[in-house]
Structure 1
Amino acid sequence: MPDPRFFETGPPISLGELAELTGAELSRPEAASLAITAVAVLGRAGPGSVTFLSDRRYVAQLAATEASAAFVTAREAGSAPAGCVALVTPHPQAAYAAAAERLHRPRRIEGGEAISPSARLEEGVRLAPGVVIGPGAEIGRGTVLGPGVVVGPGVAIGRDCQVGANAVIGFALVGDRVRILAGAVIGEPGFGAAPGPKGVVDIPQLGRVILQDGVTVGANTCIDRGAFDDTVIGENTKIDNQVQIAHNVRVGRNCAMAAHTGISGSVVIGDGAQFGGRAGVADHVSIGPGARIAAASGVMKDVPAGETWGGSPARPLKRWMRETAWIAKSAARRREGAEE
């Protein structure tokens, strides 16, 4: 279930209504009155929830799911277990998105008061002009919020933090001694889209961002909230300006990312990893503890712990340098041959 501090859960919906809403076909019409109260991804779905399968690699998870229903293609309908009603559709992920929008709505700042009466500020909090704090938000002792900062509903910020001008923080839990520089955006939806019958649709992002103690987030950096699991930045990690961290990323402790680094969704980064400027990492890649990624590298596969990789596609540094030197020598020989 999405965190109630950040999402409102609407009334249950029957499978019959859900099938009508999404254009899906019930595999068992007699189950049309069954109530659905939440959406969940396959690995976390339980009774009362609806999930989806759009990738055959996860058929085994579907077969073991405890979800009450699942959006699946006709090809996979037979893989749903006995306790899970198949909702057959050519667009399972888009149908899941429609169900998520119906059942879970993000909380927003509403009303005319800049500081919500239900926000809780400890002693010694300092607010610059133009700060907006949403309902249920909590700000710890000694924290300073710069001009124009927006803190969304339910957000918790720890003690002795510094938040720069015009930063926006939503759907997030922030530890102590965290520095968020001007213009940073924490907790906006991660990039999630799926083809639907009427074109591409957005997939609601129902997770959070967690910034642990001592994290620094640079100016104009964006850290997306999780699609369902959390995006987590470990203790004392330092992130430069204009970095993009996508949904579900998990960054370890004491990592460093130089400007313009881009981390795609569901990447796992071990403690002490370092990234040069403009490094990029493809989705679902693991970067081992202590690994180093050279500037402007493009990481397309897992990097073992302690290794230094460079190039695009990235490979171990010595190999990259040998290959680069060989290409340069080969090009030089070709030029010399052409001039003779």
Structure 2
Amino acid sequence: MPDPRFFETLSPLSVADLAARVGGTVERGGERMVRSVAPLSSAGEGAIAFLGDRKFAKALAETRADCVITPAEAVAAAPSGSAVISHRTPQAAWAQASAMLHRTIALDRAASASEAAEDDTLVIEPGVILGQGVRIGRGSRIGANTVIGPGVQIGRDCVIGSNVSVGFALIGDRVKLYAGARIGEAGFGATGTATGVMDIPQLGRVILQDGVTVGANSCIDRGAYDDTVIGENTKIDNLVMVGHNCVIGRNCLLVANTGISGSVTVGDNVIFGGKAGIGDHITIGEGARVAAGAGVLADIPAGETWSGYPARPIRQFLRETVWLAKQAASRKGPRES
């Protein structure tokens, strides 16, 4: 279930009603009621999940969701205890269901500093807006014109710079967010439909653990359903992008212009050089190093240093670079030499 501090859960719907609204076909269990959405792996009683790719067939077989949305050819693979809706575009149907069952809590009314503060050591600079349910620990400072969305929790001795926006987030102690940082915006999720591309509601959170620093104008997206997590004491430079569902370990360094796509898992003590780019659903092992400008398209084992595009182990990259330079030099014509 999405965190009730950030998302309102609406009235439940029957499977038959929901299928009619999303343009699907009820295969079984039309009378069953659903009240939330979830991924196949974590769905339980009252939840609806979907199969968007055959590689998740095992997760479909093991899901405990009360209802699943699948392509017509995968209906037989759904668990016998689940209601089933068949649909040509299951992910799009699930996204529509998300919007029918959950709604973000809007910043309709601001809270006062006294409502949000743990004690009178909190400093609120001019122009700050605090949503309902915000809680901020002692010794923290919120910079001018910053917006803290409803339900956000901020720990003690934090420094939030000016013109920062924070939403859908749980923030530990001694966290620093420099000017213009954007924490908890919707992750980049979209799917195709018969009428074009549609956004997928993002129902997760951002968790910044103790001692995290986020540089100016950097962005950390909230999870699509699970959380985006930045581990303890990790330091993020200016102009860095961290996509939804990423889990970044402790004591990592992300240098300026690094871009990390969605659902990347990073171990502790990893360093990313400037302008490193990481593809989605990649795992980077503990203590690895990613050189500046590298484009990572495959998992990196623990302790290794990778460089180049596509990135590969640095010794291999250097050997290939030297070989290529020698080949180019050997092919110079008389006029070039």
Query: TM-score when scaled to structure 2?
Result: 0.97
User: Unpaired segments of 5 or more residues in structure 1?
Assistant: none
AA aligned to 1:22 is V
Superposed, 1:263-278 pairs within 5 Å as 263-278=260-275
1:148 has 2:145 as partner: yes
Counterpart of 1:196 in structure 2 is 193
From 88, 96, 101, the equivalent of 1:103 is: 101
Q: 1:291 to 1:107 in 2, by over 3 A?
A: same
Matching of residue 10 in structure 1 with residue 10 in structure 2: yes
**Structure 1 residues 169-248: aligned runs within 5 Å:** 169-248=166-245
Contact 1:73 1:90 in 2 (8 A): yes
Secondary structure of the 2:173 match is: coil
1:322 aligns with 2:319: yes
Percent identical: 53
The answer on whether the counterparts of 1:116 and 1:135 sit within 8 Å (CA) in structure 2 is: no
Which 10-residue stretch deviates more, 293-302 or 62-71?
A: 62-71
Question: Per the alignment, do residues 51 and 118 of structure 1 end up closer, same or farther by CA in structure 2, a change over 3 Å counting?
Answer: farther
> Deviation at 1:17?
1.0
Q: Displacement, 1:63? A: 1.2
1:123 to partner: Cα distance: 2.5
Which residue type is aligned with residue 233 of structure 1? Answer: I
The SS at the match of 1:90 is coil
2:81 is aligned to 83
Name the amino acid aligned to 1:57: K
Q: Distance in 2 between matches of 1:115 and 1:335?
A: 73
Q: Which structure 2 residue ranges, 5 or more long, are not aligned?
A: none
Amino acid at match of 1:108: A
CA distance in 1, matches of 2:336, 2:184: 58
Q: SS state of the match for residue 8, structure 2?
A: strand
> How far 1:60 moved relative to its partner?
1.3
Write out the 4+ residue segments of structure 1 that deviate beyond 3 Å after TM superposition.
113-121, 336-340
Contact 2:111 2:132 in 1 (8 A): no
Q: Please tell me whether the aligned partners of residues 194 and 202 of structure 1 are also in contact (alpha carbons under 8 angstroms).
A: yes
Find the aligned partners of 2:170 and 2:34 in 1 and give their Cα distance: 28
Q: Measure how far apart 1:68 and its partner are.
A: 1.1
Residue 252 of structure 2 is matched in structure 1 by 255
Deviation at 1:62, TM superposition (A): 0.8
Residue 335 of structure 1 and its aligned partner are, at CA, apart by 2.1
Q: 1:122 Cα deviation (Å)?
A: 2.8
**Residue 64 of structure 1: CA displacement?**
1.4
Residue 79 of structure 1 aligns to which amino acid in structure 2?
A
Q: Deviations over 1:294-331 (max 9, x none)?
A: 00000011111111110000001111011111111211
Residues 117 and 138 in structure 2, CA contact (< 8 A), matched pair in contact too = no
Is 2:26 the counterpart of 1:36?
no
Equivalent residues of 1:120, 1:136 under 8 A apart: no
* Structure 2 counterpart SS, 1:50: strand
**2:306 aligned with 1:305:** no
State whether residues 8 and 103 of structure 2, in contact with CA within 8 Å, keep that contact through their aligned partners in structure 1: yes
Moved more, 330-339 or 4-13: 330-339
On the 8 A contact 2:89/2:192 being kept in 1, the answer is yes
Does the CA-based 8 Å contact 2:131-2:150 persist in structure 1?
Answer: yes
Report deviation, 1:339.
4.0
Counterpart Cα distance in 1 of 2:190 and 2:117: 36
Q: How far apart, CA to CA, are the structure 2 residues paired with 1:27 and 1:76?
A: 11
Report the count of equivalent residues.
337
Retained in 2: the 8 A contact 1:205–1:227? yes
CA offset digits 1:188-208 (Å, max 9, x no partner):
111111111211111111110
Kept in 1, the 8 Å contact 2:113–2:124? The answer is no
Match of 1:54 in 2: 52
- Deviation, 1:118, is 5.0
**How do 1:132-147 and structure 2 match up within 5 A?**
132-147=129-144
Deviations 1:79-129 (A, max 9, x none): 111111210110000000000011111111113x46387534433000111
Q: Distance in 2 between matches of 1:24 and 1:217?
A: 43
Task: Supply the RMSD in Å over aligned alpha carbons.
Answer: 1.3
